């Protein structure tokens, strides 16, 4: 899988470490969805806490950069969803073909 760049000019060190861990999980051939979900929740809490401490233009700029990162995460997770959907569809078609063959 391709890596996801979640770094932007306003990324602070703790968020950067979390982003790297998340990116590592997203790049695995068979990612651990539960671990990804846990990191995304942790990332969300970290970002919300940071935004609460910002004011004015800094808050707006950070939020805009994070929206772009969230869009990338959403696209990457949609790829996983589509891959799982395709696998399940293939499995169901195979089962149906096996049942038909046995008759």
Task: Report the mean per-residue pLDDT for the chain.
Answer: 91
Residue 93, Cβ density class (10 Å: 0-12 exposed, 13-18 middle, ≥19 buried):
exposed
Claim: this prediction has a pTM higher than 0.85: no
User: Is residue 77 assigned to a domain?
Assistant: yes
User: Is residue 5 assigned to a domain?
Assistant: no
User: Is residue 89 assigned to a domain?
Assistant: yes
Compute the distance between CA of residue 11 and CA of residue 5 in angstroms, rounded to an integer.
11
Element spanning 19, H or E: helix 13-26
User: Is residue 7 assigned to a domain?
Assistant: no
Express each pLDDT in 28-67 by its tens digit: 888 888 999 999 999 999 999 999 999 999 999 999 999 9
User: Is residue 41 assigned to a domain?
Assistant: yes
User: Is residue 4 assigned to a domain?
Assistant: no
* Enclosing domain of residue 19: 13-102
User: Is residue 17 assigned to a domain?
Assistant: yes
**What's the number of domains the chain is made of?**
1
- Using CA of residue 44, residue 50, residue 56, residue 62, what is the dihedral sign? negative
């Amino acid at each position: 899988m391709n890596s996801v760049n979640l770094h932007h000019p306003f990324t602070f060190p703790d968020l950067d470490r979390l982003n790297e861990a998340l990116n590592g999980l997203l790049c695995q051939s068979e990612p651990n969805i539960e671990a990804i979900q846990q990191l995304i929740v942790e990332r969300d809490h970290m970002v919300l806490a940071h935004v609460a401490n910002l004011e004015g233009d800094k808050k707006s700029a950070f939020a805009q950069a994070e929206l772009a990162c969230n869009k990338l995460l959403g696209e990457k997770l949609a790829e996983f969803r589509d891959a799982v959907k395709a696998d399940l569809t293939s499995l169901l078609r195979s089962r149906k073909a096996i049942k038909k063959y046995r008759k």
